[in-house]
Amino acid sequence: MDAGEVLRLDREHVWHPYTAVPSGVPVHVVRRAGGVRITLGDGRELIDGMASWWAAIHGYNHPRLNRAARDQIDDMAHVMFGGLTHEPAVRLAHRLTGMTGLDRVFLADSGSVAVEVAIKMAVQYSGRSTLLTVRGGYHGDTFAAMSVCDPVNGMHHLFTGMLPRHVFAPAPPHDYGRRPAPASESGPDEAYLAELTAAVEAHADRLAAIIVEPVVQGAGGMRFYHPAYLRRLRDLADEHGILLIADEIATGFGRTGEMFGCDHAGIRPDIMCVGKALTGGYMTLAATLCTARVADRIGVLMHGPTYMGNPLACAVAGASLDLLAERPWREEVARIEAALLDGLAPAADAPGVRDVRVLGAIGVIETDQPVDVAKIQDIVMEHGVWLRPFGRLIYTMPPYACTQEDVARIAGAMVAATAAL
């Protein structure tokens, strides 16, 4: 099929995320993806500054991940997980518990479902049905997940009538990460700590759990908050016998410079959700982990998707975690952080730019006004880079496999895009 035919059929039949059919916004045909680049239907090669939405940390078409998928498919692509088990799933579960210090693993099929399962765990554990979350948060597009997202983030307002009501603490100030000079890392905001404490204490006797994205609020605004807030939530949860759920779907597996966002605060949650980079961006797989104490009290957990524990996805995830363990990801992410800080610095003074911030392999330009997505994409694509800005954010979370030149190119494209503000 030529690229024109793909686009014609796409326009006729296919929904893309958060769009109509036809989408009304430009859609590009991808022919191939290899290393950190995607190749479009017209032959253009772009560095993927999005890593397929935080996931493709090793880059595309990786021989080790390809081999893991190929080897596994020759044994079995899938079998039901009800009453059956297999090596790829138990190996992965063992690996994840070793990495997180948690004990039990529910293998889900997407990040949103992992959050649904975490919420079910908290409800079954506590017999309560109210959660505390923070404004600015994002946890997925399924119903329970939407109910703990910031209701004003614009993504879920059509469904508010159907969503259970939870308690919302104020959004954390974004006072973490690094910024071009002269501003630098600041300490925690004591007034915010007091607000957070008051919000939890006011509702403590009816809370099943507190759910947060550790240190980075992703789709809710790409905000980086001080680990002291997370530590306070851990303390408050302990004090009041409430579970702490860490949604590490975006932050997990090294993205923020630590293996998990919780590591910035030196805490362990009772329940953790992981996804996205779990399979290195190859397959749809996520997991909800919890402590033995939580699992023992829950007993029978009421969830069981058809594709639970998919052997192909588990085998690729195992290979992706092997690769992560072998690659010097900490140094790679630190190098990306330095290159982003350096490369994005000129944007700090550009008209229409409110803030430039970097944490690990995440670089953000926040603007004063919502950006014209198509216009920004045109500019960055001219620079050989793929990005998907949203709202007031032009941002990147590149594959760890990017070279310094790749990162400089991404940052340069982002700075160039500020000319369109």
Closest CA relative to residue 363, chosen from 326, 286, 311, 415: 415
Note the residues at the interface with ligand PMP (CB under 6 A). Answer: 110-112, 115, 138-140, 213, 218-219, 247, 249-250, 275
Distance CA 78, CA 123 (A): 30
Smallest gap, in angstroms, from Cβ of residue 218 to ligand PMP?
Answer: 4
Distance CA 296, CA 284 (A): 28
Compute the CA torsion angle 182, 408, 279, 289 (nearest 10 deg): 0
Q: Which CB, 288 or 377, lies closer to ligand PMP?
A: 288
The answer to whether the annotation marks 54 as part of a ligand binding site is no
Closest CA relative to residue 269, chosen from 121, 66, 61: 121
Q: Which CB, 188 or 252, lies closer to ligand PMP?
A: 252
The answer to whether the annotation marks 291 as part of a ligand binding site is no
Residue nearest to ligand PMP (CB): 111
Alpha carbon separation from 315 to 94, 112, 241 (Å, rounded): 13, 21, 37
Active site residues: 18, 138, 247, 276
Smallest gap, in angstroms, from Cβ of residue 219 to ligand PMP?
Answer: 5
Tokens standing for residue 355: 């803030």
- The one-letter amino acid at 292: A
Smallest gap, in angstroms, from Cβ of residue 77 to ligand PMP?
Answer: 21
The answer to whether the annotation marks 205 as part of a ligand binding site is no
Closest CA relative to residue 342, chosen from 405, 400, 254, 397: 405
Q: Which CB, 149 or 228, lies closer to ligand PMP?
A: 149
The answer to whether the annotation marks 112 as part of a ligand binding site is yes
Smallest gap, in angstroms, from Cβ of residue 262 to ligand PMP?
Answer: 13
The answer to whether the annotation marks 329 as part of a ligand binding site is no
For CA atoms 99, 100, 105, 109, the dihedral sign is: negative
Q: Which CB, 129 or 284, lies closer to ligand PMP?
A: 284
Annotated binding site for substrate: 53, 138, 276, 304, 388
Annotated binding site for pyridoxal 5'-phosphate: 111-112, 247, 305-306
